[in-house]
Structure 1
Amino acid sequence: MAENILQMRGITKTFPGVKALQDVTLEVARGEVHAICGENGAGKSTLMKVLSGVYPHGTYDGDIILEGETVQFKDIKDSEHHGVVIIHQELALSPFLSVAENIFLGNERARKGFVNWNETNTMATDLLRRVGLKLSPTVRAGEIGVGKQQLVEIAKALSKDVKLLILDEPTAALNDEDSAHLLGLVSDLRAEGISCIIISHKLNEIRAIADSVTIIRDGRTIETLSLHDGSVTEERIIKGMVGRDMAHRYPERTPSIGDEVFRVEDWTVHHPQEHSRVIIDRAHLSVRAGEIVGIAGLMGAGRTELAMSIFGRSYGSNISGSLYKNGQQIQAKNVGDAIRHGIAYATEDRKRYGLNLLDDIKRNISGAALNKLATRGWVDGSQETIVANDYRKSMNIKAPSVAAVTGKLSGGNQQKVVLSKWMYADPDVLILDEPTRGIDVGAKYEIYTIINGLAAQGKAIIVISSELPELLGICDRIYTLAEGVITAEVPIADATPEYLMQHMTKEKD
């Protein structure tokens, strides 16, 4: 049996109101590629942040044993000093610095306070060659594609004498060619004796590259499977990922579904900077009055990009396709157009895009429909307060008054403010992107009840969620999205976690 380079024992990590990890165990053999699988929110990235010192020792319970020694990382530089390097899904390169500067950022080749640029560029060139990149070390990182940026991140890791490399969704934003190149590099690193942990939803890639896979569900270790003999199928991994009790987590609802309200046809969206890169490819979907339609997709599938591009083209370039409202084609060239056509979008990132955290509840609720409160260009402050108070009570927003600063509310109450804002705007079509992300179970139930109430009013609702049980618990119909392509449409009566996951991991033809 191979010697373990890493053991994690009894890892428990708690955030306010949420136990993200509970008694997790993980063993990684020296020189192996070890995959970690689980649904979004299962705790995979949290576990890797514990391992890499992003969450330092003392903020979690349990032990990390590296090369036979118990380690207590106080920060990410400490873990790197021990040879543990993590590459996050959101790349951390500075677009304005050269590739060489990025590789040695914080680890500069310097003497007596001065950077030795000859040494820096020479060493960077060697590292780039090692990861299969033929480009000048002086080119700015922002001028190269995402696939090459990912390889630069690996070159940066290799500059730190890495022993254990952690890759979080490394191919989520890459095309097939770049993905194949990166996975080939991972295989080469294994041959050099470097151990790798790879988090990925692409099960075909995991079965192709990994030696073992550990499945995490709801913050717990479910099982570890060996992939050496080829007997573990994608269906077997999916079964471990999605099994969970869904009883009593969703309010009962009797749908009353009417005519089609909104339809998207042949919707194609390109990347906002890399204009040749297709993010959404000829997508089609529809939603009827009183219907809750889900969109299921893995990280990087294009769910948010699809929603934002529909909502006034707030994402993407070279957008083509058609939008129809009540059977009539509409033009929504900007957010204002979308709102005027009765389309609303509640973003997945409420803190950054959905709310003004420095302002009060009252101003946030009225923000999307100030025209309803304005007389001759002036907002009626008294009426604004009355409206906000009505929503505070009806939505059960826990705050002393509507003058409370929104940024001081809990995540669940912030989400209720976001929903109140769009409810006051009175849209016909409401797109909810991860409506329950980061909130506790009780608040989730309240949000589901609100969604059901909006559907009962005849609103057409689209829900994007990383949680399959959530979609199965509240939707009438579900579309699956994989690599920017709608791969299936299934009524809820026929939907199962396994069926959805199969189509969410389907490769583009």
Structure 2
Amino acid sequence: MQTNPIVEMKQIHKSFYSVNVLRGVDFDLFSGEIHALMGENGAGKSTLVKILTGIHKSNQGEIFYKGNQTEFSSPKDAEKNGMAVIHQELNIIPYLTVAENMFLGKELKATPFGILKTKEMNQRTKEYLNRLGIDMDPQKPAGELSVGQQQMIEIARAIAANTEVLIMDEPTAALTDREIETLFKVMDQLRQEGVAIIYISHRMEEIFRMCNRITVLRDGQSIGTKNTNETNFEEIVKMMVGRELGERFPDRTADIGDTYFSVENLSLEGVFNNISFDVKKGEILGVAGLMGAGRTEIMEAIFGARKKSSGTIVLDGKELSIKKPHHAIKAGIGFITEDRKDEGLVLGLTVRENLSIPNLKTLSNQTIMSDNKEKQFSKDMIEKLRIKTSSSEQEVKSLSGGNQQKVVFGKWLGINPKLLILDEPTRGVDVGAKKEIYSIMNEETKKGKSIIMVSSELPEILGMSDRIMVIHEGKVTAILDKADANQEKIMEAATGGINR
């Protein structure tokens, strides 16, 4: 590692109106290292990166890049100087080819009048992707690629621009396990080539596997920087939240009763086939499997968001006819989807309005909404779920990821569900908010509610589930008791290795 950092940020301050978002943050980055930037949602990570790349200007502090005091005027200015960002929401235009996305805004032209050197762009794209060990058709429309493949286009684009500093924001959030492994190989290769990487993620396992150092922000301040091989999970969590969190997963203390919900021979042609399982009263059934195995599609069919080909669904001894989501809601089924921003919330509405959406009937006096009922309901949910908001009238888009997810929970808890389906309930949520969500789940099962939890995080599956169902290519390959389950057995079943 170099003696002098390629990036050094000293005592960075930033406020928006009267709110101090950053209060004296220090951060440095060396060539050839992967440096994790961690902190709870709202700690200031995104603001710090936006200041570094020229989106915002700091109110106070200094930035040095390659030893020179620097202030980029825009992201384009930062990119010209060798700094690139790969955002969680990828900047890919699906209707353009791989090569056209690669050279977007930097097209190779045969003439000043705009005739493109298409053949050369295709050839160069293939060369850049081959450098990453990726075999991809440059002429294929980007919209036909997986998220992981699209991400590789962005990394190849950064390499083409001779990037020296690469900032990656939650890069694995929507990737399959295989795509994550490919990404990590590429990151290792870039590190060996001297590229400096800032890695933003809530996934502790990835941080400790891939990163050389970890810097933690809390409440807009830099709490400290640790060498990854000299620290541990507990110390980083304490730095992030300012206290001991105790056990990562709370003890499961609910009394598990008899079978409360069951599915028999549920099928959707071409997607999943003959799915049968049950959930007991007060139980959390974890659902594991690789991305694309059909887990989300099964849950959507149960909820009526997809039309099943065949199968029966029984809840509390009654067979249900669910053709639309409102049939499921009426029967007492709530569904927290994996994409809270597009499917779980209306970002332009307030916390109160979002909480009220599935609860209009109970908050109305016959056909007229009761302001008093609605305000009291939102006040109760904010207090119960400890949602950090200035008031119930704050727009939900301005909340942190963890607090947005709590609003989604509040929506569905309001209908007093018998069964709650959770699809990736802690995705993009910091470690402190995760613990709070796990506690909410425990509280609901103590009341006799049943929960189905789909998750791609095996520690979460093992830590929170009473039983674990594994899906592989649209079929149930295993249902394991918690006492018998481990990561190896789950992965074996998820890849089709066992069937029980």
TM-score, structure 1 normalization: 0.64
Partner of 1:223: 226
Deviation (angstroms), 1:191: 4.9
Is the 1:214–1:223 contact (alpha carbons within 8 Å) kept by the matching residues of 2? yes
Q: Alignment RMSD, CA only? A: 6.1
Aligned equivalents of 2:232, 2:110: Cα separation in 1: 51
Partner of 2:27: 25
Is the 1:307–1:345 contact (alpha carbons within 8 Å) kept by the matching residues of 2? no
Partner of 1:56: 56
Deviation (angstroms), 1:66: 1.9
Deviation (angstroms), 1:95: 0.3
Deviation (angstroms), 1:454: 5.5
Which one of the candidate residues 333, 340, 343 is aligned to 1:343?
Answer: 333
Q: Where do 5+ consecutive residues of structure 1 fail to align? A: 227-231, 492-498
Partner of 1:165: 166
Partner of 2:498: none
Partner of 1:129: 127
Deviation (angstroms), 1:74: 3.5
Superposed CA deviations along residues 185-234 of structure 1, whole A, max 9, x for unmatched, are: 44444454433444564847974xx57242647574441246xxxxx7xx
Aligned equivalents of 1:480, 1:42: Cα separation in 2: 33
Which one of the candidate residues 420, 423, 428 is aligned to 1:430?
Answer: 420
Aligned equivalents of 1:178, 1:306: Cα separation in 2: 21
Measured at CA, do residues 242 and 14 of structure 1 come closer, stay the same or move farther in structure 2, by a change above 3 Å?
farther
Is the 1:301–1:482 contact (alpha carbons within 8 Å) kept by the matching residues of 2? no
Aligned counterparts, 1:467-486, within 5 A? none
1:288 aligns with 2:281: yes
Aligned equivalents of 2:51, 2:192: Cα separation in 1: 23
Aligned equivalents of 2:264, 2:124: Cα separation in 1: 48
Deviation (angstroms), 1:431: 4.2
1:144 aligns with 2:145: yes
Aligned equivalents of 1:487, 1:69: Cα separation in 2: 59
How many positions carry a matched residue from both structures? Answer: 470
Deviation (angstroms), 1:117: 0.8
Aligned equivalents of 2:67, 2:341: Cα separation in 1: 42
Q: Please, which moves more after superposition, 82-91 or 387-396?
A: 387-396
Measured at CA, do residues 12 and 311 of structure 1 come closer, stay the same or move farther in structure 2, by a change above 3 Å?
farther
Partner of 1:495: none
Superposed CA deviations along residues 248-304 of structure 1, whole A, max 9, x for unmatched, are: xx999996665453467999999xxxx89x9xxx99784534x6x497999989999
Is the 1:98–1:137 contact (alpha carbons within 8 Å) kept by the matching residues of 2? yes
Measured at CA, do residues 383 and 150 of structure 1 come closer, stay the same or move farther in structure 2, by a change above 3 Å?
closer
Deviation (angstroms), 1:18: 8.9
Is the 1:295–1:464 contact (alpha carbons within 8 Å) kept by the matching residues of 2? yes
Aligned counterparts, 1:258-273, within 5 A? 258-262=257-261
Letter in structure 2 aligned against 1:128: K
Aligned equivalents of 1:409, 1:180: Cα separation in 2: 33
Deviation (angstroms), 1:83: 0.2
Partner of 1:97: 96
Is the 1:311–1:343 contact (alpha carbons within 8 Å) kept by the matching residues of 2? no
Q: Please, which moves more after superposition, 422-431 or 41-50?
A: 41-50
Measured at CA, do residues 389 and 177 of structure 1 come closer, stay the same or move farther in structure 2, by a change above 3 Å?
closer
Deviation (angstroms), 1:344: 0.8
Letter in structure 2 aligned against 1:69: N
Aligned equivalents of 1:94, 1:145: Cα separation in 2: 13
Deviation (angstroms), 1:127: 3.3
Deviation (angstroms), 1:238: 3.7
Aligned equivalents of 1:33, 1:283: Cα separation in 2: 48
Aligned equivalents of 2:395, 2:29: Cα separation in 1: 43
Measured at CA, do residues 150 and 486 of structure 1 come closer, stay the same or move farther in structure 2, by a change above 3 Å?
farther
Partner of 1:391: 377
Aligned equivalents of 1:134, 1:173: Cα separation in 2: 20
Aligned equivalents of 1:101, 1:261: Cα separation in 2: 53
SS at match of 1:368: helix
Is the 1:479–1:488 contact (alpha carbons within 8 Å) kept by the matching residues of 2? yes
Partner of 2:87: 88
Letter in structure 1 aligned against 2:226: E
The percentage of aligned residue pairs carrying the same residue is: 28
Aligned equivalents of 1:385, 1:460: Cα separation in 2: 31
Deviation (angstroms), 1:346: 4.0
1:153 aligns with 2:158: no
Letter in structure 1 aligned against 2:93: S
Q: Where do 5+ consecutive residues of structure 2 fail to align? A: 496-500
Aligned equivalents of 1:283, 1:81: Cα separation in 2: 55
Measured at CA, do residues 373 and 91 of structure 1 come closer, stay the same or move farther in structure 2, by a change above 3 Å?
closer
SS at match of 1:97: coil
Deviation (angstroms), 1:63: 3.9
Measured at CA, do residues 65 and 410 of structure 1 come closer, stay the same or move farther in structure 2, by a change above 3 Å?
closer
Which one of the candidate residues 303, 308, 311 is aligned to 1:312?
Answer: 303
Deviation (angstroms), 1:85: 0.9
Is the 2:21–2:44 contact (alpha carbons within 8 Å) kept by the matching residues of 1? no
SS at match of 1:345: strand
Measured at CA, do residues 456 and 167 of structure 1 come closer, stay the same or move farther in structure 2, by a change above 3 Å?
closer
Aligned equivalents of 1:401, 1:6: Cα separation in 2: 39
Is the 1:37–1:44 contact (alpha carbons within 8 Å) kept by the matching residues of 2? no
Letter in structure 2 aligned against 1:167: M
SS at match of 2:57: coil
Measured at CA, do residues 295 and 415 of structure 1 come closer, stay the same or move farther in structure 2, by a change above 3 Å?
same
Aligned equivalents of 1:406, 1:40: Cα separation in 2: 20
Measured at CA, do residues 108 and 458 of structure 1 come closer, stay the same or move farther in structure 2, by a change above 3 Å?
same
Aligned equivalents of 1:365, 1:78: Cα separation in 2: 42
SS at match of 1:65: strand
